Structure 1
């Protein structure tokens, strides 16, 4: 059993549920070491003083807050514990909010809340109540000397506590140049919806693999054997011009096997058709004159 991330209680009203938090996700990445180029000797980081370039042992390092240029106040472990004292052992649900009102950008990291012995009944009570009201509990929790906004959600048989970002940590979209909410042309929208419907299926996370990690592992395996490997380079996609949009949508629908409508005439296509019709008319005129 992995070590607890946090141990305390979830509270709503006068109800308290002793729980411990366990990671709900695990990192899956390839680790690398830094090496000296020629000897392949491992490179290590050292804590070096900026004034005398001496290595500082961990026992002589403290945490300082720079309140003015090159002026610091030192905080001890006791200071951090004192700041967290009132919030470190209890997670009180302050509000329950409709689940569909929370923007996904606020969610940061999920944990499973595991009930302590004897708390199974009240744990199940909170889980089922959250499910049937379709709500999310919101509160603040302190983990490792840092306070987080957090959400309590029901996830199948488990209660999940998902750390959240505070409002000032979420960047507002108004800071970017994003297209306005004007609706596109009806025909293009209809075809785009058809394309989405043709690609719609149930979510199966096992279907999606980390292709970059797999390619990297293949390269590593080949290098270990003294071999080289050739991977197909992806072409850089080009933005679809508005003039080609309907043609691209139609082609996408055909590829997905649902394209039943005739391709719409774009401005480019219409001009080509008009030129072809003019040439045909001229040829017909010459034929009539000869006759």
Structure 2
């Protein structure tokens, strides 16, 4: 790989390269970025010339990334995250609480628990904007992919501020209509007789949980999905018995806690942000609001 060290490569070239990498074509990248297709093509050509590498090859299905393109991807993504973080920081300058805060959480927490907390936060601070990213992937706060994260694992990085909120209790639940039709299991040994809702592919948490709850294995599931929200929707629809958060299920009068206390499973929950954001007004008020709201949820 040869480069011209005297030439500064503009961020817009990397941005277009990332767009093509993610969309698979010049036209797709142009639509996603809101710029003209020829502009994307010129950016990619200029970046290839500046770096001295070929980034994409043409195929019948679009543009395929080369090994060089894939090798550059994590660095370009870090640049993208930094650029977005810089923009959020710039928006927050001046008096008052304003600007954008990027929060990441799991699907269930993000869709079922955080919305009322965020609604109260925005009532108190109308100038605040929130980007809510729902993913089970641990987004890297060190690379500023997000400002604040609700995580189900304890962060290890020393540069992160982490507050332990508590343990989210998990339990077996079913819709009352399902139990009316099929009866209620009297013990864990009865569970294989019922339609069980569970995962399709194992995760580290699932493997650890199965050691404590051996019956919860793929072969016993009548319905399988790796989406926690889909599992919750299936339980609510009366498809069978599944695992969900006890406090969340308690909000729905149609859901019944089956064999309460029978499964020793919980999710330790942490609220985290980078220590550099400790005194940032927009991040501080958001962190405090999330902490209080999640603590209240745990206490329900």
Q: Same fold (TM over 0.5)?
A: no
Name the TM-score, length of structure 2 as normaliser.
Answer: 0.17
Q: Which structure has the higher relative contact order (CA within 8 Å, separation 6+)?
A: 2
Asked which structure has the greater CA Rg, the reply is: 1
More helix by share: 2
